[in-house]
Amino acid sequence: MSNWQNLNHAVSLAPGEVIEIEWQGDDLLLYRTSAGEYRAITAYCPHMGNYIPNGLAPGQSLSRLLQQDELRCPFHGWRFNGEGQCTHIPQGQPVPVAVKQGRAVARCWRVREEKGRIQIAAT
């Protein structure tokens, strides 16, 4: 069952753009893929719980977090797709069982654009 809700503030992102939002008590990163699809993923890395934007150098754009339409945590380079699955861990780092089994490790939300408004729903 869908429970779509409008974001409180008007948002329109260009492909490749990333913003931080707060949604019902959770900190999310909302971004738009190169194909124009919206994605929302937790702003806290499943690896060590770091707030992902804090891994950027001062002044760096949040869009630097995207790599091939996936979110790349700048702390240790883990990468997550729009479904929350870890798609890359740099060589030499242990791979958790959940990742080996292809299970989602990062919480995601569904996002759509409806009549010019961005709507979001829990997965």
Least distance to ligand FES from the beta carbon of 43, Å? Answer: 11
Let me know: does 118 contact 59? Beta carbons within 8 Å. no
In the complex, the residues that contact ligand FES under the rule CB under 6 A are 45, 47-48, 50, 73, 75-76, 78
- C-beta of 41 vs 118, nearer to ligand FES: 41
Distance of closest approach, residue 54 Cβ to ligand FES, in angstroms: 10
Find, among 52, 48, 58, 49, the residue nearest to 40 by Cα. 52
- Closest CB 89 distance from ligand FES, rounded Å: 8
State which residue, 82 or 120, has the beta carbon closest to ligand FES: 82
For ligand FES, the closer of residues 76 and 110 by Cβ is: 76
Q: How far is the CB of 70 from ligand FES (least distance, A)?
A: 13
Element (H, E) at 57: none
> Of 10, 23, 11, 76, nearest to 46 (Cα)?
76
CA dist., res. 116 & res. 119, Å (int): 9
Distance CA 98, CA 94 (A): 12
> Residue 52 or residue 120: which is nearer to ligand FES going by CB?
52
